[in-house]
Chains A and B, each alone.
Chain A
Amino acid sequence: KQEVTQIPAALSVPEGENLVLNCSFTDSAIYNLQWFRQDPGKGLTSLLLIQSSQREQTSGRLNASLDKSSGRSTLYIAASQPGDSATYLCAVRLGSGGGADGLTFGKGTHLIIQP
């Protein structure tokens, strides 16, 4: 059974710092990996999607990398801002459209950016 672990569980840093969130998964035969943010009482907002054949994806100040063989992904946030405060979730997908397509999530990293 696929298991996803996120480290650290919580992180508090001053505004302006660069930071790295870590995600690991036990079954390397993934189809893709997706990073989300979740604000309190809200649904999930998709940040980045990395296909299994890709090594990284970038969007603005966010960069996500994928090392499928070692079962790891990192989310890099540059020049953090208070508005980045949220819970960040990593999720992997095994299937390619015909089943087993539900995402397996980690428990998330709760991030606080201090003004």
Chain B
Amino acid sequence: GAGVSQSPRYKVAKRGQDVALRCDPISGHVSLFWYQQALGQGPEFLTYFQNEAQLDKSGLPSDRFFAERPEGSVSTLKIQRTQQEDSAVYLCASSLVPSYNEQFFGPGTRLTVL
């Protein structure tokens, strides 16, 4: 596709449920990023992949958060045992090569935990 796509666009989960959020980066983009954006705040970095390698996961808030990119293209962010504080918009971004960092963002997945 022409841009970064994410699915689902909206997700409602009951507290304690597991969720999986998908990101399809721009074709050929090596770098992939996940961010979390709380209401009224700027996005906060979660994790970064270069191809299938997860080079930085310093922003993941707890061990309930897990991300993977097994074939170096599509990525999945998984949240186990969701809590209300996990409610946010989860944004995915990609860039063509690691050293050139114009990041292109997807529309995000709005997660609401009840």
Interface residues of A (CB under 8 A from B): 4, 31-32, 34, 36, 42-46, 49, 89, 91, 93, 96-108
B62 at the interface (CB under 8 A from A): no
| CB neighbours of A96 from chain B (8 A) | 98-99
Per a CB cutoff under 8 Å, which of A31, A34, A98 touches B103? A34
Counted as pairs of residues, one from A and one from B, with CB atoms less than 8 Å apart, the total is 75
Docked-complex contact A43 and B107, CB < 8 angstroms = yes
Q: How far is the CA of A42 from the CA of B74 in the complex (A)?
A: 21
| CB neighbours of A46 from chain B (8 A) | 102-105
B18 at the interface (CB under 8 A from A): no
Taking the closest CB of chain A, its distance from the CB of B31, in whole angstroms, is 7
The residue on A at minimum CB distance from B31 is A101
Docked-complex contact B101 and A93, CB < 8 angstroms = yes
Interface residues of B in 71-112 (CB under 8 A from A): 91, 93, 97-99, 101-108
| CB neighbours of B108 from chain A (8 A) | 42-43
Per a CB cutoff under 8 Å, which of B41, B56, B93, B99 touches A100? B56
Q: How far is the CA of A18 from the CA of B33 in the complex (A)?
A: 34
Q: How far is the CA of A107 from the CA of B50 in the complex (A)?
A: 27
Docked-complex contact A103 and B45, CB < 8 angstroms = yes
Per a CB cutoff under 8 Å, which of B33, B45, B105 touches A43? B105
| CB neighbours of B31 from chain A (8 A) | 97, 101
Taking the closest CB of chain A, its distance from the CB of B98, in whole angstroms, is 3
| CB neighbours of A32 from chain B (8 A) | 101
Docked-complex contact A108 and B42, CB < 8 angstroms = yes
The residue on B at minimum CB distance from A31 is B101
Q: How far is the CA of A101 from the CA of B43 in the complex (A)?
A: 14
B114 at the interface (CB under 8 A from A): no
Per a CB cutoff under 8 Å, which of B35, B41, B55, B101 touches A107? B41
